[in-house]
Amino acid sequence: MATTALPLEHATHAEAHELSFIQKYIFSTDHKIIGIQFLLMSMLFLVVGGLLALMIRWQLGFPETAIPGGALLPETMAPDGFLLPEFYNSLVTMHGTFMVFFAIMPLLVGVFGNFLIPLKIGAPDMAFPRLNMASFWVAVPAGIMMLAGFFVEGGHSGAGWTVYAPLSADPEWTGVSYGQQLWLLSIAVLGLSSILGATNYITTVVNLRAPGMTWFRLPLSIWALFITAILVLLAIPILSGAAIMLFFDQTIGTHFFDAATGGQPLLWQHLFWYFGHPEVYILILPAMGMVSDVIANGSRKPIFGYHSMVYAIIAIGFLGWIVWGHHMFQSGMNPTLGMTFMISTMLIAVPSAIKVFNWMGTMWRGNIRFHVPMLHAVAFVAMFVIGGLSGVFMASTPVDIYIHDTYFIVAHIHYVLFGGSLFAIFAAVTFWYPKMFGRMMNPTMGKVHFWLTFLFYNLTFFPMHNLGVAGHMRRIYDPSQYEFLQPLAGINQFITVNALLLFASQLIFAVNFVVSWFRGKRATENPWEDNGLEWTVPSPPPHGNFAEVPTVYRGPYEFSSPDVSEDYLPQTTRLATDRTPAAGSEGGSA
């Protein structure tokens, strides 16, 4: 079963090394190559999403000035460099769409789910390598379709990334038909990619763990990716189903979400957020897991409260299913439900707090090495706290009446997804880069990039809280239409300038990423002196990862153990006191 599903090339070719370039790097079944493919693709979409954000910011900061380079945009988007309101709505929609579905989600799940799971559990590859290859190559046409929406008649979807019906359901309301349809098809196809990936991750973690890799010896990154995969598997089909229903509303007039003919506009919101809230945790759990690995490494200390951390991941994964209504407090949903959803939402603060305090507990009395991944990981904790705390405001239903659909929400989501997820992604990319490419990234450039990003990130997003407190609505093309928003124009300009600088700072990362790939210092097997199984194999690891099946003797966070003189103790090191794992304690049945 699992083992027979390993690449057929092994059977058909005498030597795995004779794979052609195309088999090795394009249609590869190697989880590491697929992870890198996802990395390159999602970084491309990160840039696209960033550019869209800059256009949004330009409009809000300097509506009287033509957008620089705006001459390149067609008349249907920005005549003479001035954005049209319908294009602005498309920008708002597509910035969110690309960042959530094509950047952050694949960066966390597609990249690190693929790259880390087999390496960290001691498996030669995923359980289903061909399915894995399919999951990437299904995502590519989804991305192309999503990009194509900009170039079709009527422009791209302008209904927000949440594509609320009926605005999204009938071209009559927006003038957008093909754009919205491509959006929906792309999401359904991308969903297939996610489902294939998730099935693979779950099967792999359950079945292919090395001998001795018990559940409670799994790194927290793997726990988080495992729980995330379960969320993906259960949540994505709901989105796909809803997207297909909306597609039928758009094209063949099914009227699922059209009130005039018996449909229910709120049904879309329930379906979308029933997917959408687990999605929020899909976008943060892997980040939390990987940050845990980096913080333990940087602090040279075992993770504080490993079991609590595992249970907190599981609790967040579970509670994530019963909080979706907090997006709908002001939607006209039964107000009694508002009470229920408020309490469940408040409760989710508890496992989040547990995680924050355990990260702090890990740093407490540590011997902290501030390598670049650690800087990003600590920034993750510092920023995620702000995103978590601002969540309490909107969880309180009465306060939400005021701040719902304002920039307070925009600030909150960016503290969680940029301050949280993206800083974690920077931590993870810089941490595992040597394992991926066999080269070290330049640490000086890494530090400069970190500090500039940290500074401009906060100057960009923190003032958005204040905009929200002043009542500034989100998704507004022209705030000057409202007298009460006119005094906020200065803050909007300030934010725009900092957003431009934030984007520019990312060039340093891009240069470091590309140049290090070819010119970076050669990486040793274990440059960060870590304990995980991936650091026992060459950088980059060969096809099949492990020369022989590794045996695991302990958990992944045995830093500064009194048993050894070094301050780290790899999971595979056998001490005199360790016994060979009995057959029953094996992780997988290979």
Partner 1 sequence: MSWILPPGVSTFASDIDFLYYLILIITGIAFVIVEAGLILFIVKYRERPGRKAYYTHGSTTAEIVWTAIPAITVVTIGVLSGGVWKTVKGRNSVPPDALPYGVLVKQFEWNFTHAGVDGALGTGDDFTLRNRMHIPVDRPVVMRMTAEDVIHSFFVPAFRIKQDAVPGMEIAVWFEATEPGEYELACAELCGIGHSNMGGTVTVHTAEEYSRWVAEQSTTAALR
- Contacts (CB under 8 A) with partner 1, residues 315-344: 330-332, 334-336, 338-339, 342-343
Report the distance separating Cα 331 and Cα 333, nearest Å. Answer: 5
Judged by beta carbon, residue 107 or residue 411, the one nearer partner 1 is 411
The interface mask with partner 1, positions 85-114, x = CB under 8 A, is xx--x--x----------------------
Binding region for partner 1 (CB under 8 A) out of 40-48, 197-205, 218-226, 295-303: 295-303
- Smaller CB distance to partner 1: residue 37 or 458? 458
End-to-end CA distance of the chain: 10
Which of the stretches 270-278, 305-313, 447-455, 523-531 binds partner 1 when contact is defined by CB under 8 A? 305-313
Q: Would you state the structure tokens that stand for residue 170, as one six-digit string? A: 């009938």
Amino acid letter, 538: P
Q: Write out the binding residues for partner 1, residues 249-268 only, by CB under 8 A.
A: 258-260, 263-266
Q: Rule CB under 8 A: choose which of 61, 96, 278, 302 binds partner 1.
A: 302
Nearer to partner 1, 330 or 444 (CB): 330
How many CA atoms lie within 13 Å of 170's alpha carbon, on the beta-carbon side?
A: 14
Amino acid at 352: S
| # of chain residues touching partner 1 (CB under 8 A) | 100
**Residue 590 contacts partner 1 per CB under 8 A:** no
Is residue 300 involved in binding partner 1 (CB under 8 A)?
A: yes
* Torsion sign (Cα): 220, 221, 222, 224: positive
Q: Judged by CB under 8 A, does residue 349 bind partner 1?
A: yes
Taking CB under 8 A as the criterion, which residues in 6-65 touch partner 1? none
**Which residue lies nearer to partner 1 by CB, 285 or 377?**
377
Asked if residue 223 binds partner 1 (CB under 8 A), the reply is no
Minimal distance in Å, beta carbon 269 to partner 1? 9
**Is there a contact between 352 and 311 (Cβ–Cβ < 8 Å)?**
no
- Among residues 158, 276, 419, 446, the one that binds partner 1 under rule CB under 8 A: 158
Q: Binding to partner 1 by residue 68, rule CB under 8 A?
A: no
CB 163 within 8 A of CB 180: yes
- Among 290, 378, 422, 499, which residue sits at the site for partner 1 (rule: CB under 8 A)? 378
Choices 301-309, 418-426, 450-458, 524-532 (CB under 8 A): range interacting with partner 1: 301-309
- Cα(218)–Cα(546) distance, integer angstroms: 18
113 or 388: CB nearest partner 1? 388
Query: Does residue 475 belong to the site contacting partner 1 (CB under 8 A)?
Result: yes
Q: Where are the alpha helices (DSSP H) in 483-578?
A: 489-519
Per CB under 8 A, does 299 bind partner 1? yes
Alpha helices (H) along 208-264: 220-252
Q: Which residues, numbered 523-562, are part of the site for partner 1 (CB under 8 A)?
A: 559-562
CB-CB contact of 257 with 265 (8 Å) = yes
Query: Of 241, 305, 544, 581, which lies in the binding site for partner 1, with binding defined by CB under 8 A?
Result: 305
Subset of 263-292 contacting partner 1 (CB under 8 A): 263-266
Nearer to partner 1, 144 or 339 (CB): 339
Question: Tokens 């050894």 correspond to what residue?
Answer: 564
Task: Confirm or reject binding of residue 314 to partner 1 (CB under 8 A).
Answer: no
Minimum CB distance to partner 1, residue 309 (Å): 9
118 in contact with partner 1 (CB under 8 A)? no
Figure out which of the listed residues 227, 354, 410, 416 binds partner 1, where binding follows CB under 8 A: 354
- State how far the alpha carbon of 54 is from the alpha carbons of 51, 61, 95, 333, 566, in Å: 5, 10, 10, 35, 48
- 394 neighbors 349 (Cβ within 8 angstroms): no
Give how far Cα 515 sits from Cα of 34, 269, 447, 521, Å: 21, 45, 16, 11
Q: Which is nearer to partner 1, 197 or 420 (CB)?
A: 420
Handedness of CA 218, 224, 227, 233 (dihedral sign): negative
Q: Return the number of the residue (29 or 531) whose C-beta is nearest partner 1.
A: 531
- Least distance in Å: CB of 527 to partner 1? 16
**Per-position DSSP letters for 414-459, written without gaps between them:** HHHIIIIIIHHHHHHHHHHHHHHHSBPPPHHHHHHHHHHHHHHHHH
Q: How far is the CB of 558 from partner 1 (least distance, A)?
A: 9
Binding mask 417-456 for partner 1 (x = CB under 8 A): ----------------------------------------
Distance of CA 509 to the CA centre of its chain: 18
Residue 204, C-beta contacts closer than 8 angstroms, at least 6 positions apart: 117, 118, 121, 123, 126, 127
CB of 321 or CB of 402, closer to partner 1: 402
Backbone angles phi, psi at 97, to 5 degrees: -60, -50
Q: Are 369 and 301 a contacting pair, CB within 8 Å?
A: no
Closest CA relative to residue 280, chosen from 158, 198, 162, 405: 162
The answer to whether 129 and 7 are in contact (CB under 8 A) is: yes
Q: From the CB of 554, what's the least distance to partner 1, in Å?
A: 12
* Residue 479 makes contact with partner 1 by CB under 8 A: yes
